[in-house]
Homo-oligomer: A and B are copies of this chain.
Amino acid sequence: MRLAVLGAGAVGSSVAELAGDYGHTVTALADSRSAVLDPEGIDVGSALDRKEREGVVGDADPEEALAGTYDVLVEATPTTLGDAQPGFGHLRAALERDRHVVFANKGPVAERYADVRALERESGGTVLMEATVGGAMGYEHVLAEAQDLGVAEADPSFDVEGTDAALKCTILANVLAEGGREYTLEDATVEGIKSLPGSALELANEDGRTIRLIGEVSDGEVRVGPRLVPAYGALAVTGTRNIVQLETEHAGQLNVSGRGAGGPETATAVLADVDRLDS
């Protein structure tokens, strides 16, 4: 498939770098200020080198990437709230041209899910979003390190205030509702971990427990907040590791865990979506 990648941060760069390994061609790469395009495939390495040296990937206008040659638009610009722009506009432009859209950006699918699906229905393109829900990470004391590693949200308050977890749970709630009801961030009850006293973790420890930021989606409710969990239990994941726990009717509890952040890790979710479109 031919990919136009919007966003050249940790995720967009990784998607562009790994696309070739998965048999795809990157025909456009754009950051917020510039773009590089070639219908035959751009030179990803030199575009990212230039980004590092000069702060831009190329000489073209970023809007040109939207109008170029591609089968799939990979939307990996930073998550924004409210009107979810410019991500939502990028979606609309691609779907109007009957192109597929794969989101890494959580904004449009969390904040305007019904609009996204309505535009998709009118288009020959398909919208996928696996990369938007890898789990949730948090905790102020690992935040500095996380930012060094490039795995924290562009806006760090998204992590510590629980917004990132709430966005992911909102997306999950929409997917689970299968169009039966639309959820936005306003439907979520969100409590972050910023105001949690240090003594809380010590008290939890004495009791064989620890504290994690947990998002819950059930029976039409979306709740995010610090929760006490068993210190050695499945939910006590560390580092950038996330876990999704599903309570099923007949199959009991299913757990899926893996790294919930990081450029290459998130890029594999984007490229798995691209493969789904290809088959």
* Chain A residues near B (Cβ < 8 Å): 14, 18, 232, 234, 248, 250-259, 262, 264-265, 267-269
Q: Nearest B residue to A263 by beta-carbon distance?
A: B250
Question: Across the interface, do A253 and B258 meet the contact criterion of CB distance under 8 Å?
Answer: yes
Provide the bound-state CA to CA distance between A18 and B253, in Å: 18
Question: Across the interface, do A254 and B264 meet the contact criterion of CB distance under 8 Å?
Answer: no
Question: Across the interface, do B267 and A250 meet the contact criterion of CB distance under 8 Å?
Answer: yes
Question: Across the interface, do B256 and A268 meet the contact criterion of CB distance under 8 Å?
Answer: no
Question: Across the interface, do A251 and B255 meet the contact criterion of CB distance under 8 Å?
Answer: no
Partner of A252, one of B232, B248, B258: B258
Question: Across the interface, do B258 and A254 meet the contact criterion of CB distance under 8 Å?
Answer: yes
User: Can you offer 11 A-B residue contacts whose CB atoms are under 8 A?
Assistant: A18-B250, A232-B232, A234-B234, A234-B257, A251-B258, A251-B264, A251-B269, A252-B265, A254-B258, A255-B255, A255-B258
Which B residues are CB-close (under 8 A) to A252?
Answer: 258-259, 262, 265
Shortest beta-carbon distance, A247 to chain B, in Å?
11
Question: Across the interface, do B250 and A265 meet the contact criterion of CB distance under 8 Å?
Answer: yes
Question: Across the interface, do B265 and A251 meet the contact criterion of CB distance under 8 Å?
Answer: yes
Partner of A251, one of B253, B256, B268: B268
Which B residues are CB-close (under 8 A) to A14?
Answer: 250
Provide the bound-state CA to CA distance between A268 and B14, in Å: 36
Question: Across the interface, do A268 and B248 meet the contact criterion of CB distance under 8 Å?
Answer: yes
Which B residues are CB-close (under 8 A) to A268?
Answer: 248, 250-251
Q: Nearest B residue to A256 by beta-carbon distance?
A: B256
